[in-house]
Amino acid sequence: MNAEQPVDPYAAELPPSRREGRLGVGIISAGKVGAVLGSALRGAGHSVLGVHAVSEDSRTRAESLLGGVPVLEIPEIMRRAELVLLAVPDDALGELVSGLAEAGHVQAGQLIVHTSGRFGTEVLAPAMGRGAIGLAIHPAMTFTGLSMDLQKLHTCAFGVTAPAPVLPIAQALVVVVGGEPVVIREADRLIYHAALAHASNHLNTITGQSAEMLHRIGVENAETVLRPLMQASLDNALASGEGALTGPVARGDVGTVSHHVRLLASSDLPADIRTAYLTMARATTQRALDRGLISAGKAAELLDVLGG
């Protein structure tokens, strides 16, 4: 007689709708990400049974992207849905999950999926402890909350984290909405999110600062000047890495950098522009040195000028 095998919580028979590849989906909440992903899941054949929307903006968004889907309270969504999509701010996620578990709203076998970049599945532990299947799928994209986002999903990577037995479910959910799943280990989730925030948010800041500098000298359509330059720089950097780096730092042009520094110190430009220029130029100097683009002596001269 064979020894009794341990129970696999993921091996239970799926409900008929899930076996057919269709899920009853609940969305908490109808922010920009939740409404768009809910619409994408519905477009892929899943049934969105309810959405939680509190603010006027979220209700309008739900009506636009999820027309016909009832706006429900969270307990009712949890009761109805096989898959619950938690698209709430990072800082609210842990408290929400704990509250749902403590109130007894989590069902065994229910898929609980969050869209936070910061967290893996550890934040879902209270729900998983009640028998839910926890998945983390984070779209590496900025959202407008408009229908145009649905097309962008088809070129979007998703950072996917899940226990090994159910990782294919998380990957399949991403594929079905048109995205590309990229597996991120639980321990690496925070650095993954920091990398994306650094790339996206700080690019926005640099763009705004550069546009302000151009506006101050009378260039009304700064985007006309910046778009081709920044687009080419981004494309080259993604294709060739830092070997594509150009500009006065990469050339070791200490004189030009020195003039930039003096200008920024003496002008009435906002202090954040000078701080950003100096900080990024010092980082660029170090990376150019590490990659052999400039000599150690030239790097020392640049860092002296830059106050580093």
In a domain, 34, yes or no: yes
Are both 46 and 149 inside the same structural domain? yes
DSSP 8-state class, residue 247: S
Count: domains in the chain: 2
Are both 176 and 199 inside the same structural domain? no
266-272 contact pairs (CB < 8 A, 24+): 269/212, 269/213, 269/216, 270/209, 270/212, 272/209
In a domain, 196, yes or no: yes
83-86 and 24-28 as β-strands: parallel, antiparallel, unpaired?
Answer: parallel
Are both 233 and 135 inside the same structural domain? no
Are both 72 and 149 inside the same structural domain? yes
Distance from C-alpha of 92 to C-alpha of 56, rounded to nearest angstrom: 20
Are both 297 and 200 inside the same structural domain? yes
Q: What is the pLDDT of residue 242?
A: 82
Are both 82 and 141 inside the same structural domain? yes
Are both 32 and 125 inside the same structural domain? yes
Give 136's contacts (C-beta < 8 A, 6+ positions apart).
113, 114, 115, 116, 119, 120, 121, 124, 159, 160, 161, 162, 170, 189
Are both 142 and 263 inside the same structural domain? no
In a domain, 153, yes or no: yes
Q: Other CB atoms closer than 10 Å to residue 93's CB: what's the count? A: 19
Q: Which of 184, 201, 230 is the last residue of a domain?
A: 184
Q: What is the pLDDT of residue 243?
A: 84
Mean pLDDT of successive 10-residue segments in the chain (308 residues)? 39 44 93 97 97 96 96 98 97 97 98 97 98 98 95 96 97 97 98 96 96 96 97 94 90 96 93 96 96 95 92
pTM for this entry: 0.86
Q: What is the CATH number of the domain that holds 147?
A: 3.40.50.720
Question: What are the b/e assignments for 118-138, b being 16+ CB within 10 Å?
Answer: bbbbebbebbbebebbbbbbb
Q: Which of 142, 161, 184 is the last residue of a domain?
A: 184
Are both 46 and 176 inside the same structural domain? yes
Question: Domain span at residue 229?
Answer: 192-305
Q: Which residue do the tokens 């992903």 mark?
A: 37
Are both 220 and 86 inside the same structural domain? no
DSSP reduced 3-state for 22: coil
DSSP reduced 3-state for 24: strand
Q: Where are the alpha helices (DSSP H) in 158-253?
A: 167-176, 189-216, 222-240, 248-251
In a domain, 1, yes or no: no
In a domain, 8, yes or no: no
In a domain, 58, yes or no: yes
Tokens at 144, concatenated: 């407008």
On whether the CB atoms of residues 30 and 52 are closer than 8 A, the answer is yes
In a domain, 11, yes or no: no
Tokens at 240, concatenated: 């060739």
Answer positive or negative: Cα dihedral of 136, 141, 145, 146.
Answer: negative
Tokens at 22, concatenated: 């269709």
Distance from C-alpha of 152 to C-alpha of 179, rounded to nearest angstrom: 9
Are both 177 and 74 inside the same structural domain? yes
Q: What is the pLDDT of residue 20?
A: 55
Are both 83 and 212 inside the same structural domain? no
Edge to edge, what strands does the sheet with 133-139 contain?
Answer: 47-52, 24-28, 83-86, 111-114, 133-139, 157-161, 180-183
In a domain, 4, yes or no: no
Q: Which of 161, 184, 207 is the last residue of a domain?
A: 184
